[in-house]
Amino acid sequence: MKKALAILSLGIFFLSACASGPAGHVAHTDEIGAHDYWARSALKGGNTAIYLFLYNQTAEADALIGASTDVAEAVEVHLSQMDANDVMSMTKQESVELPAQGEVEFAPGGYHFMVLGLKQDLKAGAEITLTLHFKHHADITLTVPVMDGTDTDGMDMNH
């Protein structure tokens, strides 16, 4: 019975969130983890963004409290939002709540990992390492594929 329930919940999870992406179909063995992650290609000295789905299959809420990578000066968690004048702006987030049995999408126009001050070119086909830091869970390190993308999160950053 327990097994049947687990399979059922996994099925729902896949239906709701695993629609696409090259990194997405790793087995969900960790209780907290990420899938469908990718970084937008960019040039050395510039900024870029990383997108993913973050899931929490545990019964306890957690929170993402930061991230790091060795290919850039810094990684910040940002939220893009439309302001009252229909201008898209980004605000740095100190943490992002990750509800029990929940999932948070980091996607163009919403939450994203802002990668600031690239130390090298990121070309499509390359891979970079991103380490996620949580309030409770141990760090999780992802090998993130670089892809070409046309969205503009971070292209007009004024840091």
Interacting residue ranges for Cu ion, rule: CB under 5 A: 78, 90, 114, 154
Q: Cβ 81 to Cu ion, closest distance in Å? A: 11
Nearest to 53 by CA among 81, 26, 83: 26
Shortest distance, position 91 Cβ to Cu ion, whole Å:
9
Instruction: Point out the residue whose Cβ comes nearest to Cu ion.
Output: 78
Residue closer to Cu ion by CB (options 37, 137) is 37
Tell me the C-alpha distance between 144 and 38, whole Å: 5
Alpha-carbon distances of 27 from 24, 55, 84, 126, rounded to whole Å: 9, 13, 42, 22
Nearer to Cu ion, 32 or 75 (CB): 75
Give 35 or 78: the residue with its C-beta nearer to Cu ion: 78
Residue among 120, 64, 127 at smallest CA distance from 97: 64
Residue 159 CB, shortest distance to Cu ion, in Å, is 9
Q: Phi-psi bin for 12: left (phi > 0), alpha (psi -120 to 50), beta?
A: alpha
Q: How far is the CB of 78 from Cu ion (least distance, A)?
A: 3
Closer CB to Cu ion, 61 or 65, in the complex? 65
Q: Which is nearer to Cu ion, 87 or 138 (CB)?
A: 87
Q: Whole-number minimum distance, CB 98 to Cu ion, in Å?
A: 19
